[in-house]
């Protein structure tokens, strides 16, 4: 391993009990510094991303057979500070981003093949991972979105919604986006959304019925519950609804809002030749490379704007340090955030220890 001065210990967040309450499920722990194996790298994390699905992970919904303790978090970006002897394509000091269960950690060991180089270490690049690729791959592979269609994005001002709005516009579609504040309405307008709908001021079902009588061709649905039902009813003939998630129920014990709508779902789809399909990004791992290249090119050209949020509308105004990941998760569910929420880990002091040379 290449030489680098490192602390003897580091901190990380671990799921110690299964619960939809992130604060109850997760604890801060100190662990001995890890050393990468021959084909691995050690990354000092600078930023981590907050996702609605962090609660699904802490509840054990992704892998029901997995028992605590296990690492919390899904994505990070930082600097390589250690490298295995067989790794030739990466170097110490290089910036990389990665997706890994257990990303809420000051240091992470991961296979070199999972470390994706970045031009510099910025949270905007981090947002391309779970948020950006979910929007890109789902609309392309499942939604089969094409020019001239009408596309509805729920939670459009969120981390992944902002990408869905812009990708739909770039594809030549008319875009409707739901949100909860007037500030978010203005944000959606700034990224090209044709018809923002503040559902605290307007009833979405009425807007869709009056302004879009022919229905919606593609729905990017992340909310669930009543929102899902409204969207299904609004589908056009041959319309496609993509279930990205159902955040409205994640904090419940079952993870979703029970509904009797299922009994009428089949006839509603049949009468319109419509479809409802789920999308879980991990099932499209073979397309990650091309998706990231596509998103990175759009971002570099200025065609894709990335909004990141480090606590803009949080009482603290800025979320820093591993311990404030808890506040970051609460902030996401408060519906006050705009864009991709991230936590800056750089201010986190390392545990007092003599630096060790690995």
pLDDT digits (tens, 9 = 90+) for 263-318: 789 999 999 999 999 999 999 999 999 999 999 999 999 999 999 999 999 988 89
| pLDDT higher than 50, residue 213 | yes
Question: What is the percentage of the chain residues whose pLDDT exceeds 90?
Answer: 87
| Residue listed under structure tokens 């031009």 | 119
First to last CA, the chain: 7
**Average pLDDT across the chain, whole number:** 92
Secondary structure E strands in the chain: 5-6, 9-15, 26-32, 40-49, 70-71, 75-83, 95-99, 107-111, 116-117, 150-153, 174-179, 195-198, 216-221, 235-243, 275-278, 308-309, 340-344, 356-357
As given in the structure block, the two tokens for residue 233 are: 């009813």
Q: Encode pLDDT of 65-84 as tens digits.
A: 889 999 999 999 999 999 99
**CA atoms of 146 and 172, how far apart (whole Å):** 7
| Domain boundaries for CATH 3.40.50.720 within the chain | 130-282
Q: Give the 3-state secondary structure of residue 58.
A: helix
- Name residues whose C-beta falls within 8 Å of residue 286's C-beta, 6 or more positions apart in sequence: none
| The predicted structure's pLDDT at residue 4 | 57
| pLDDT higher than 90, residue 353 | no
State the average pLDDT over residues 45-70.
Answer: 93
| pLDDT higher than 70, residue 49 | yes
Cα Rg of the chain, angstroms: 21
Please say whether the structural domain 130-282 has been given the CATH code 3.40.50.720. Answer: yes
Q: Encode pLDDT of 109-156 as tens digits.
A: 999 999 999 999 999 999 999 999 999 999 999 999 999 999 999 999
DSSP H helical segments within the chain, as ranges? Answer: 22-25, 54-58, 123-126, 133-137, 161-170, 182-190, 204-211, 226-233, 262-270, 288-301, 325-333
Which of the four pLDDT bands, split at 50, 70 and 90, describes residue 108?
very high
Which of the four pLDDT bands, split at 50, 70 and 90, describes residue 357?
very low
Where is pLDDT greater, at 52 or 1?
Answer: 52
Where is pLDDT greater, at 237 or 346?
Answer: 237
Distances (CA, A) of 148 to 169, 216, 217: 10, 11, 10
| The predicted structure's pLDDT at residue 167 | 98
As given in the structure block, the two tokens for residue 40 are: 């691995």
| The predicted structure's pLDDT at residue 2 | 46
**CA atoms of 335 and 210, how far apart (whole Å):** 27
| pLDDT higher than 50, residue 351 | no
| The predicted structure's pLDDT at residue 44 | 97
| The predicted structure's pLDDT at residue 253 | 82
Where is pLDDT greater, at 63 or 44?
Answer: 44
- State pTM to two decimals: 0.92
**CA atoms of 338 and 159, how far apart (whole Å):** 7
| pLDDT higher than 90, residue 223 | yes
| pLDDT higher than 60, residue 14 | yes
| Domain boundaries for CATH 3.90.180.10 within the chain | 5-127+306-357
Nearest Cα residue to 174 out of 153, 160, 159 = 153
| pLDDT higher than 90, residue 356 | no
Fold of 5-127+306-357: Quinone Oxidoreductase; Chain A, domain 1 (3.90.180)
**CA atoms of 118 and 104, how far apart (whole Å):** 19
| pLDDT higher than 90, residue 27 | yes
């Amino acid at each position: 391993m290449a030489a680098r001065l490192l602390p003897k210990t580091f901190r990380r967040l671990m799921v110690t009990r299964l619960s939809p309450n992130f604060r109850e499920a997760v604890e801060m722990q100190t662990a001995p510094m890890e050393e990468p194996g021959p084909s691995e790298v050690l990354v000092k994390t600078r930023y981590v991303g907050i996702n609605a699905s962090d609660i699904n992970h802490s509840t054990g919904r992704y892998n029901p057979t997995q028992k605590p303790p296990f690492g919390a978090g899904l994505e990070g970006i930082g600097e390589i500070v250690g490298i295995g002897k067989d790794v030739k394509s990466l170097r110490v000091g290089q910036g990389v981003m990665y997706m890994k269960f257990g990303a809420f950690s000051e240091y992470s060991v991961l296979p070199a093949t999972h470390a994706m180089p970045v031009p510099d270490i910025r949270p905007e690049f981090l947002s391309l991972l779970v948020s950006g690729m979910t929007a890109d791959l789902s609309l392309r592979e499942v939604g089969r979105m094409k020019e001239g269609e009408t596309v509805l994005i729920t939670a459009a001002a969120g981390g992944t919604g902002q990408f869905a709005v812009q990708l739909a516009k770039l594809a030549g579609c008319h875009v409707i986006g739901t949100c909860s504040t007037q500030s978010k309405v203005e944000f959606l307008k700034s990224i090209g959304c044709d018809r923002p709908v503040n559902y605290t001021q307007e009833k979405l079902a009425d807007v869709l019925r009056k302004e879009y009588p022919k229905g919606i061709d593609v729905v990017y649905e992340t909310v669930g519950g009543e929102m899902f039902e409204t969207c299904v009813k609004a589908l056009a003939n041959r319309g496609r609804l993509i279930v990205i998630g159902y955040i409205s129920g994640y904090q419940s014990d079952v993870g979703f809002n029970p509904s009797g709508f299922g009994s009428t779902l089949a006839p509603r789809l049949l009468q319109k030749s419509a479809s409802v399909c789920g999308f879980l990004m991990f099932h499209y791992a073979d397309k990650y490379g091309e998706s990231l290249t596509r998103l990175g090119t759009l971002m570099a050209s200025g065609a894709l704007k990335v909004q990141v949020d480090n606590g803009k509308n949080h009482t603290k105004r800025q979320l820093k340090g591993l311990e404030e990941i808890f506040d970051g998760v609460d902030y996401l569910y408060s519906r006050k955030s705009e864009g991709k929420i991230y936590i800056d880990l750089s201010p986190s002091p390392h545990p007092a220890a003599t630096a060790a040379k690995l």
